[in-house]
Structure 1
């Protein structure tokens, strides 16, 4: 397309000797610093004209209810293919293809939520397909688990989470901080989120506020690297687990259960620092975030506020990128150890987006895979009490016949 556009431009300028060759295109890209990237995110679909009015309305809500950063919350959902690894590896120069294995489609949805001060990270809500996974037996789940047929969020699950978990956890946190029992939760306008009238506690002091349509990539704090970093930390834990195994990648991955994924995800959430979370609120309330992080020297007192804010935004964005780049570098190192290949940061970003490259599958296909996985799990054998008692009596009788010490027999009794 670029070459065709250039040819059209050369014809309009009556330049007949220009050919727009591949060599010219490569040299042009080098001169102008043009590089090839995959289009990601939804930023171009956003409505930036709605951002400023929302910020003003949000500030008014904060002033009206007397809220501070400890009482401002944001939550959002994301998908996670918890057994998926990148599809790259090294091969011999004589090999034309790299044989692989069936790509795992085991997916969960998790809901992340935290406040603007970064001091309160709520337990993530995990949504899977199985109602009672076998790997959960004798397992004290550190997170909240619910299930649906397709592992997606529903209005009822979100409503239950709001009243049974969010409200109770927020009240407990505010009580410990000696703050009034009031808070606001920022949400996007996803179809699975009930209306604002349905999401408020009895006295109406803990309520929700919805973001305008199509401003989530620009404004929503959780989307400003909180979920992205959580998933990167999770994948680092997953890779470390596979690297520590002495078995093949395929065998090691098959042994990773939903229980392991939840433990890795809980650990990933714990690695998020308050400073990282505070920075993610800059697009919603930069002035408040600035006051929480005193970043300017006395020499800046006479600098106009708009220049200070622009300078501060650039600095915090750079710090945020440095943090993410550090995690990506660690991920690449682990990937090279687990599945040797030449990885780029774009490969890690693409992997972290949890895109199903084979397209959406029908529910019947997903149910078939689920049933196959259930069949592959070892059966749980239930032993009747009568059988156990009979076995103990037999053991005691055998002990007497073989002159076992009386103290050992009493222990068995």
Structure 2
């Protein structure tokens, strides 16, 4: 088919006319190789008029393949994760130092190019199936029924920035030219169900011998501190196995057999099989509903710690210090120790365990429930309505479509579901521009439920248990009083952010996501597989190999063009060849045809 025939076909196409000239088509076909290369680099490369300039398209393709891999696992990819993985791909693809990107400006254009959505993640509630939550609650009740409350334990880790000031949306006064101290540690929390035992906090940093420790070993300090270190300041299998062995030995000495509940973080999957500790894992992505430490205990720890931190900042401000939020690791660990042992009460811990609904005492008829029929778990209409509002909150904090939300509501309410009753709340969520405003909309629509229910808001433990946990409410009030005083003293400026952002800063959430998904991505092996595939498509300079650009065999070839001077030169050369061969007749006649 000729180019003109293609133009004529689209000009009269029955399903829709598409008009363009033969010249425009020819111009596009002449650039097919370039356009194909752009399309191979990313899925939306041809949506703009100009090609996006990419320094190393091979690295970008590897990064995009990794993102797709994570999306298939239903994992959220954050900015810090993109930066970390880009650095690793630059190493694997042997990118010269001068071509590596050190800043963060490229992240925005990368997300725009690949149509990546920015989502705020509240715990893990965004991707929760309510029926899975109920099934796991039932399973845990049956397990825990074999243990006394004092023998029911939960351990969980959280990412932690000890010196993080209350600056979400705020500008802080700082010493000119001084970099902000934003070191990160991991803190592991372990406690039992009746709050009678709070195990020693585990601190994981990056330096084996931080300068602030001096020559002292943390375990010999007062108070004694459990500190370990690795390159990324994350909980690893080795560190967790070391702790589990110590915990198992402690239970053996006390002649106790206990249950230890864990999330499905791969760092908890160790070869060691304890004899006095029975380990059980929660289902994936539901720990904000069923894990006690994730349902308010860690939140309360952070509230008490940051209250102590900001009281210290107020004291430093009165002493004339400029950088009032600066704190070293040892001081931060001691404040955390104080917050854990003196701030987080046994009552708070008991209420957080009760809030999850996994304790046998929280359900009188749980033994009679058929585990295969999750929708019929709770006959009480009030509890069912609470579950429906939790579905609405999950809709507000995830990328569910409206039809998905309606299907979940139908599954929970069954015959009681009336589309008219839920039209207003569903519309309110849809009209919100971001997750934060959607959560606020849901909270504003169910004030009565937040006062009476212990399962009302999966996005924020403080909202969910505030009514039944006076200690936590008091801790939050003390914390906000410190923040307000700092604001009044002009040590922080701007509009006050919500307490969720102050006690659970975005960088801590993102870093926790990065830690978990780094293990889920099968570590370096998976990255090397991606890099190997990319190396087959791109050369060492980051240019797409020609073999990967398939040219259309039916494309019309343009005639070879030669100017007059080149033609005369060609005639002269041919004449010389003819003369050398003894063909004198043709050697003198070639030029006359020009």
TM-score scaled by length of structure 2: 0.44
Gaps of 5+ in 2: 1-118, 365-377, 387-451, 457-463, 515-594
User: Residues 61 and 208 of structure 1: is their aligned pair in 2 closer, same or farther, counting only changes over 3 Å?
Assistant: same
SS of corresponding position for 1:332 = helix
Match of 2:260 in 1: 185
Match of 1:330 in 2: 478
SS of corresponding position for 1:280 = helix
Contact 1:48–1:218 at 8 Å: present in 2 too? Answer: no
Contact 2:193–2:350 at 8 Å: present in 1 too? Answer: yes
1:331 Cα deviation after fit: 1.8
Task: Please show how residues 284-299 of structure 1 align to structure 2 within 5 Å.
Answer: 284-288=357-361
Match of 1:279 in 2: 351
SS of corresponding position for 2:185 = strand
Match of 2:159 in 1: 79
More off after superposition, 316-325 vs 73-82: 316-325
Decide which structure has greater helix share. Answer: 2
Alignment partner of 1:200 is 2:273: yes
1:40 Cα deviation after fit: 3.0
Contact 1:239–1:334 at 8 Å: present in 2 too? Answer: yes
CA distance in 2, matches of 1:313, 1:188: 21
Alignment counterpart, residue 331 of structure 2, candidates 255, 260, 277: 260
Match of 1:150 in 2: 232
1:125 Cα deviation after fit: 0.4
Task: Please show how residues 1-400 of structure 1 align to structure 2 within 5 Å.
Answer: 40-63=122-145, 66-87=146-167, 88=170, 102-137=179-214, 138=216, 139-164=221-246, 166-171=247-252, 175=254, 181-195=256-270, 198-201=271-274, 204-245=275-316, 246-248=318-320, 250-254=322-326, 256-270=327-341, 271-282=343-354, 283-288=356-361, 306=380, 313=454, 317-320=465-468, 323-338=471-486, 339-341=491-493, 344=496, 346=498, 348-356=499-507
Match of 2:434 in 1: none
Contact 1:233–1:268 at 8 Å: present in 2 too? Answer: yes
Gaps of 5+ in 1: 1-36, 92-97, 292-303, 363-413
CA distance in 2, matches of 1:119, 1:147: 29
More off after superposition, 154-163 vs 49-58: 49-58
User: Residues 41 and 60 of structure 1: is their aligned pair in 2 closer, same or farther, counting only changes over 3 Å?
Assistant: closer
Contact 1:142–1:263 at 8 Å: present in 2 too? Answer: no
1:86 Cα deviation after fit: 2.0
Contact 2:305–2:339 at 8 Å: present in 1 too? Answer: yes
1:193 Cα deviation after fit: 1.3
Question: 1:217-244: CA deviations, max 9, x gaps?
Answer: 1111100110011011111111111211
User: Residues 320 and 108 of structure 1: is their aligned pair in 2 closer, same or farther, counting only changes over 3 Å?
Assistant: farther
User: Residues 329 and 224 of structure 1: is their aligned pair in 2 closer, same or farther, counting only changes over 3 Å?
Assistant: same
SS of corresponding position for 2:506 = coil
Contact 1:199–1:208 at 8 Å: present in 2 too? Answer: no
Larger Cα Rg: Structure 1 or Structure 2? 2
Contact 1:236–1:330 at 8 Å: present in 2 too? Answer: yes
More off after superposition, 306-315 vs 141-150: 306-315
Contact 2:345–2:471 at 8 Å: present in 1 too? Answer: no
- Name the count of aligned residue pairs: 291
CA distance in 2, matches of 1:340, 1:253: 11
SS of corresponding position for 2:344 = coil
CA distance in 2, matches of 1:119, 1:155: 28
TM-score scaled by length of structure 1: 0.62
1:136 Cα deviation after fit: 1.5
Cα RMSD between the aligned structures? Answer: 3.4
User: Residues 249 and 99 of structure 1: is their aligned pair in 2 closer, same or farther, counting only changes over 3 Å?
Assistant: same
Question: 1:160-195: CA deviations, max 9, x gaps?
Answer: 01112x2244456xx3xxxx5101111011121124
More off after superposition, 149-158 vs 310-319: 310-319
